[in-house]
Structure 1
Amino acid sequence: MTEINNPRIAENSAVLMHFSIRLADGSAVDSTKVDNKPAKFVMGDGSLTPGFEACLLGLQEGQSETFTLPPESAFGLPNPDNIHHLELSKFSQDVPAEIGTIISFTQPNGEEIPGIIREVVADSVTVDFNHPLAGQTVTFEVDVLEVLG
């Protein structure tokens, strides 16, 4: 009987997979299974952090695995330099400064970056530009559907 070797994920592989990300308390953050739309990406294209990609290397088509990643390997640690104080006057009725709201800000180079409003005191709004999951240990569950090359 001949054993069939399914393709393995390598450094530049294109991969089609389902994934779920959960926090340490078990709450779901993201899952491609909700809409049954698997994710397709190319290893090394920047869509996943190096820590997530390291988990995938060597997995075979058809394989399912679960990994627990510390913040440093997942979305990083919060950086105090990514917390900024903006004037309340920069906000409007269309884009109110409400605590917990995620707002997209345009950087000088034209790129959009999300920021979470953490505090509003008098005329000052504290906006956190760290990734919303920075500092979190996460569980990464994957189902490798297809290794495309």
Structure 2
Amino acid sequence: MSNAKSGDTVKVHYTGKLKDGSIFDSSRDREPLEFKLGAGMMIPGFDKAVDGMKIGDSITTEISANDAYGEKSDEMVIDIPKDQLPEGINPEIGQQLTMQHPSGQSIPVVVTKVEEASIEIDANHPLAGKDLIFDIELVSIN
């Protein structure tokens, strides 16, 4: 039986948890996640964890924020004047919005502060700055 290596297309079942044990995502109630190992499709720590596994192997791995979604960046928290918001938007703290990057890419953001003339939004990934724990089971290697 061969080991998963960079360039292989693999399928895994996983459960992602925070240090407090709360689950933020799982493939257990759906199809396994398929990705090309080492192709940058996954966070670096996830790729590293799967590399070398055999079909049927299960592991639990802790991935530091640096090998996951990175640290929170203050540069990703910005103020926007309310008069620049699209018509009909009534921002509230915790509300999720989507911004257009100049490249055309959609960027999800969260409203973190609402003031009279402006709002503050956070474009950091929701899991930025967090160490993650994954239970991973390798289902197949192609």
TM-score, normalised via structure 2 length: 0.92
For the pair 1:145 / 2:139, whether they are aligned, the reply is yes
Q: Which amino acid aligns with 1:10?
A: K
8 Å contact 1:91–1:97 — kept in the other structure?
A: no
Q: Which residue of 2 aligns with 1:7?
A: 2
Secondary structure in 1 matching 2:28: coil
Match of 2:82 among 82, 85, 88: 88
Q: Which residue of 2 aligns with 1:3?
A: none
Tell me: CA distance 1:92–1:19, structure 2 relative to 1, closer, same or farther (3 Å): farther
Match of 2:12 among 8, 17, 36: 17
- Percent identity, aligned pairs only, is 27
Tell me: CA distance 1:30–1:81, structure 2 relative to 1, closer, same or farther (3 Å): same
1:121-147: CA deviation from partner (whole Å, max 9, x where unpaired): 111111111110011111011111001
1:5-34: CA deviation from partner (whole Å, max 9, x where unpaired): x22110111011111110111111010113
Unaligned runs of 5+ in 2: none
Structure 1 stretch displaced more, 43-52 or 107-116: 43-52
CA RMSD of aligned residues (A): 1.3
Tell me: CA distance 1:47–1:121, structure 2 relative to 1, closer, same or farther (3 Å): same
Question: How is 1:1-149 mapped onto 2 (pairs within 5 angstroms)?
Answer: 6-34=1-29, 36-89=30-83, 90-93=85-88, 95-148=89-142
Structure 1 distance, partners of 2:36, 2:90, is 38
Structure 1 segments, 4+ long, off by >3 Å, are none
Structure 1 distance, partners of 2:12, 2:87, is 41
8 Å contact 1:66–1:141 — kept in the other structure?
A: yes
Report the count of equivalent residues.
141
1:75-132: CA deviation from partner (whole Å, max 9, x where unpaired): 1100111111112230443x43121122221111101111111111111111111110
Structure 1 distance, partners of 2:87, 2:17, is 34
Secondary structure in 1 matching 2:46: helix
